[in-house]
Each structure stands twice: as C-alpha cells, then as structure tokens.
Amino acid sequence: MSSPLQPQLVKDIDAALARIVTSDPSAAGPHWGAMHKLLLKAKLDPQAIMRLVGARDTAELTRAVARAKGEEVAEPSSDASAATADGTTPNAAPAQEFELSVLQDALRMFRKRVKLSQLDADSKLGVGPMSGTGQHRIQAMLPPRDFPWGVWEALVKAGKLRRDADGFYSIVEQPGGAHW
C-alpha cells in the first residue's frame, strides 16, 4: 500500500520513533513532544494523538505510525483494547515491572509537584486569614510526564497513589507517615 504522507515527514516520524524507543523513559519527554507535533502534521486524529502521547505507550505508537504510513497492522487482542471498569484503558504491557529506584523517584517527583502546586495556590489573592476564605487543599493532580504512564499505575498497584477520575492521581496517606 502506498504511503499517504510526504517522504520527508515519514523520515522525520521514523527518526522520532527510533529516538523514543532507544531513549531512557524518564528522559524521553522532549522526544514525545516532537512526535506529537509530527503526528499533528500527519493529520492524525488529535484526540488519538493525545491518548498516545499521554500514555507513553510505545507499542501503540509503533502501530499508529505504521497505520499512518499506510502499512497493514495487526491489531492487539480485544482484551487489551477494552476499557477497564474504572474507565481507563490498560497499557499494552500491564505486567511491566519497574525498578524500586524509578518508582521512588517518580513518587518523590509527584509529592514535590503537589507541594509546589499547593504553595502556588496558597500564594494567590483571596487566601489567608485576612481574606475570610478558608484554605483549599489540592486533592489530586495529573502526574508529571517525566515518567511513563506504567510507572504511575505501578505506584497505584503498590498502594502509594490512588487513581482519581480523568487521569488524576492523589497521594495515599500511609499510616504513621511511612514512606519508601
């Protein structure tokens, strides 16, 4: 089947895909951003692109690139493409294991982002003892994209984070303040 994309765009997409596949997942953020822009140039569905880039699923990205180039692609089994009961779609490799140090770094980054977001919210006008409004605590947030989506799901499975609606996660308070 002939490729509906321009040859230079195909080369750029293939190069970006190779950089994503060969790079360290925690340092692949700029490569995913470049891939996002290239896929938009290729006129793919923007919502599908956001799901791909947000999930950082390299297997699905490879299939999407092949489809965009006009190649025949074997679809994953219907079990892997179905949504789970809580509305999220599972990754292509749900049994993916991560090193403890990666999980610790991700959890540390998540806690730091929650803390900075809370400090930013507290510094706004209308918050404080003189304004008459109570302080609002940040309950959940989107996880940083510095780590693949599977890391956040592994932290949920480990009981360190709780999955909230629409891709938001919140910190699970450990009894006695226990951390890793």
All structural domains of the chain with their residue ranges? 7-81, 100-125+135-177
What is the mean predicted confidence (pLDDT) over 78-84?
43
pLDDT in tens, 110-121: 999 999 998 888
Residue 97: closest CA among 22, 162, 150? 150
What is d(CA 116, CA 112) in angstroms, rounded to the nearest whole number? 6
* pLDDT at residue 129, as a whole number: 63
Token pair recorded at residue 81 = 């493409």
pLDDT over 70 (residue 69): yes
pTM of the model: 0.51
Average pLDDT, the chain: 78
How many Å apart are CA 178 and CA 180, to the nearest integer?
Answer: 7
Phi, psi values for residue 89, rounded to 5°:
-100, 135
Give the span between the Cα atoms of 132 and 15, in whole angstroms. 56
Q: What is the pLDDT of residue 39?
A: 86
Q: Which of 48, 180, 56, 58 is nearest to 110 (CA)?
A: 180
In single-letter form, the type of residue at position 35 comes to M
The predicted pLDDT at position 144 comes to 87
Least-confidence region, from 75-79, 83-87, 142-146: 83-87
